[in-house]
Amino acid sequence: MNSVIPLSAFDLSIAASLVVLLALLTWWLRLGVSKRLFVAGTRTVVQLLLLGLVLKYLFESSHPALIMLITFAMVAVAGREVMVRQHRPFKGGWGYGLGTLSMFISSFTITIFSLGFIVSPEPWYLPQYSIPLLGMMLGNTMTGVALTMDNLTTSAWQQRAVIEQRLMLGEDWRTAIRDISRQSLRTGMIPILNAMAAAGLISIPGMMTGQVLAGSSPFEAAKYQILIMFMISAGTGFAAVLSSWFGAKRLFDDRQRLRLERLSVPKG
């Protein structure tokens, strides 16, 4: 198989011009997202180039402490993204902590299990495998947790009268918010369910595409992609369940009273 075709700065600038054209179109249509497109594009370039430099050094050293530092940094940033994507996040450290803890438990557990018992690199924390696997886990789990918690808190705010009526009728907090929690979980799992249903028919997933472009056997790339899709679906589902339970519990106090004042007021 052929090796990867290198891309020059000019090649990337041609691709960037497409985003510039899109930004100009959104400005002409007065959509209000032109600036965000430029900022997001700039962040993409800077972040990915820095990531390339960091991973190059990391792959050469394979030091466990450095690998651990990078993984925790990835989780920390993912936790912030979960918080800022919510319309009514919890106030204080809870807004950051609930989503971050859910992702940490789910993503780390699934990634370590897959590295130790399925892929089995030597050593098991080999960064060429551990960092990309965890990154793909966090990227998708982050979306699922953000959607779950956003739907949970927004629906609880909108249906507070229904929840309080159920509490007055003698239901405990779990039963009073059960329907909202279930709907939140369904919402959080929609992206991964769509991705699994479309994989191979509508879209060629990212990891498989990367391996094929790198010269790997398409069949071997397909097997790795199946592994990734199963990891992501399990990780997203478990994280959504955890975040839904943690979030629902935080909405009530020890006397099972609804405490919506624990939610932030939306900006704007």
What is the tens place of the pLDDT at every residue in 19-45?
999 999 999 998 888 998 999 999 999
Mean pLDDT taken over the chain: 89
Question: Can you give the pLDDT at residue 28?
Answer: 93
The range of the structural domain enclosing residue 128 comes to: 63-262
36 half-sphere exposure, CB direction, 13 A CA radius: 5
**Number of residues written out for the chain:** 268
- 177 close to 248: Cβ distance less than 8 angstroms: yes
Q: Do 43 and 73 share a structural domain?
A: no
Q: Do 251 and 121 share a structural domain?
A: yes
214, pLDDT greater than 80:
no
Question: Can you give the pLDDT at residue 2?
Answer: 54
Residue 213 lies in a domain: yes
Q: Do 11 and 100 share a structural domain?
A: no
Residue 110 lies in a domain: yes
Window from 104-108, 133-137, 165-169 with minimum mean pLDDT: 133-137
Tell me, rounded to whole angstroms, the distance of Cα 186 from its chain centroid: 16
- 248 close to 201: Cβ distance less than 8 angstroms: no
How many other C-beta atoms can be found within 10 angstroms of the C-beta atom of residue 142?
A: 25
Secondary structure letter of residue 87 according to DSSP: S
Residue 219 lies in a domain: yes
Residue 25 lies in a domain: yes
Q: How confident is residue 58, by pLDDT bands cut at 50, 70 and 90?
A: confident
Q: How confident is residue 100, by pLDDT bands cut at 50, 70 and 90?
A: very high
151, pLDDT greater than 70:
yes
> The tokens of 87 are what?
């319309």
Q: How much is the average pLDDT of 89-98?
A: 93
Q: Do 82 and 173 share a structural domain?
A: yes
Q: How much is the average pLDDT of 110-129?
A: 90
Q: How confident is residue 184, by pLDDT bands cut at 50, 70 and 90?
A: very high
Q: Do 201 and 84 share a structural domain?
A: yes
> The tokens of 145 are what?
């947790």
Please give the Cα distance from 143 to 68 (Å, whole number): 23
Residue 163 lies in a domain: yes
Question: Can you give the pLDDT at residue 62?
Answer: 81
Please give the Cα distance from 154 to 184 (Å, whole number): 10
5, pLDDT greater than 80:
no
- 2 close to 215: Cβ distance less than 8 angstroms: yes
Q: Do 87 and 6 share a structural domain?
A: no
Q: Which pTM was predicted?
A: 0.83
